[in-house]
Amino acid sequence: MPTAKSDAFVFFGATGDLAYKQIFPALQALIKDGRLDMPVIGIARSGWNLDKLRKRAHDSLEEHGGVDKAAFAKLSKLMRYIDGDYGDAQTYDKLRTGLGDAQHPLHYLAIPPSMFVPVVKGLAASGCSQGARVIVEKPFGRDLKSARALNRTLHRFFREHDIFRIDHYLGKEPVQNLLYFRFANSLLEPIWNRDHIASMQITMAENFGVQGRGKFYDEVGAIRDVVQNHMFQVLALLAMSPPANRSADAMRDEKLRLFRSMRELKPEDVVRGQFDGYRKEEGVSKRSTVETYAALRIHMDTWRWAGVPFFIRAGKQLPVKCTEVLVRLKNPPQEVFDAPTNGAVNHFRFRLSPDVIISLGARVKVPGEAMKGHPVELVAHRHVRTAMAPYERLLGDAIDGDSVLFTRDDCVEEAWRVLDPILGDKVPVHTYKVGTWGPKQADALIADAGGWNDPKVDAPPKVGS
């Protein structure tokens, strides 16, 4: 498998929102770290020129992290700009000329998914795909059928190990820490199975709405936007078996085994919600049935996890902005002392944002003669404000040809297989009030497993039934 470093960085959608918020800051950071010294070619159909793109990059950096004079000067020197339509062969002829002697360009498709196919075909027809890698932004299709079609098209022109399906969530330091904590320590593995774990739940809460992206969101919804990718990836890190080694294929092989063990979802395993007022958002249909909230109950047919329910919920306009995992352990087989009043005696809690928390929930004796206890948490807490930004990590890895943090074709298709039966309007949508934890129907989904754990950002949450 080739390991040659990319020698040119090309990004389609150079004048777009993703480039402004993420790509320019990542490129400057890579230059500061000494990891980027190659032509940086922006392509868009905006009628711009190079000076305007440089100004756009400067404005982006001022707003997102600050301008480093030396690094920005180098970035400006490396930058090129090609203005043209993605369906016009001349655009790719200009790119072929602009690449010069580059043998291993990296093409980043920071564009709407509808444009992936014409751009990939244009790259191939002009010879720009020869020896190249390609980065594809999520969503990777809208369902199993479209994901398979997209993969077939990509495989016509690129080998699988040259395709980098980017999910910025996998580049986050706290998510990486979850993977490291599981497999760098021996304390979890003896109990990380159906004999000791009663349930797991993952909450990804956002305390804001669609933020002007109504038209986009109304075509996607919560399940396609964050569940199929972000949340399934976190679930995989929690439940996968240890990989044989650190290689990309070893990691992704274990994820694939896990996804293949997941049962296809049924309507009774899913609750969809829509926050009150969503249909008034600009770009949203007045009759929209798209979910802004989703709760799912997942079962896996494996020796390790048979009978253990996994719960996922994600939603907008919830009380806090927080992503948290709660692993409830089974209670002791006999109550020697007082019976706990809050359901679970022990738990692990992994907070992934906005801060990083790894904690163990237990019961300890209260002072006095009575043998009574109360719940406490043993907390290891650290901030990650200076951590490498996800896009810097992921773009740097793609440049180096390291695909460990990127998603493979078969994993994408297996995730869609699980979700396919409940996509669209097969599950009704329930309205919920802004600032609440979603529709009440979601409570019944997890009632037998102790109820949802509602994260609190300003203090450690109380874990109850």
Strands (DSSP E) along 45-141, which ranges? 79-83, 105-109, 133-137
Q: Which long-range contacts (CB under 8 A, 24 or more apart) does 335-340 make?
A: 337/371, 337/372, 337/373, 338/371, 338/372, 338/373, 340/373, 340/375
Task: Let me know if 230 is a catalytic residue.
Answer: yes
Which residue, 56, 55, 65, is CA-closest to 28?
65
Count the neighbouring beta carbons within 10 Å of the beta carbon of residue 420. Answer: 17
Largest interatomic CA distance in the chain: 85
Tokens of 177: 């820490």
Which residue, 237, 247, 444, 243, is CA-closest to 327?
237
Q: How far is Cα 380 from Cα 453, in angstroms, rounded to an integer?
A: 19
Count the neighbouring beta carbons within 10 Å of the beta carbon of residue 366. Answer: 11
Contact 402, 248 (CB under 8 A): yes
Q: Which long-range contacts (CB under 8 A, 24 or more apart) does 85-88 make?
A: 85/45, 86/12, 86/45, 86/111, 86/115, 86/118, 86/119, 86/122, 87/118, 87/122
User: Which ranges in 79-172 belong to alpha helices (H)?
Assistant: 89-99, 116-126, 144-157
Contact 168, 229 (CB under 8 A): no
Contact 311, 296 (CB under 8 A): yes
Annotated catalytic residue, options 104, 107, 168, 230: 230
Give catalytic residue positions: 230
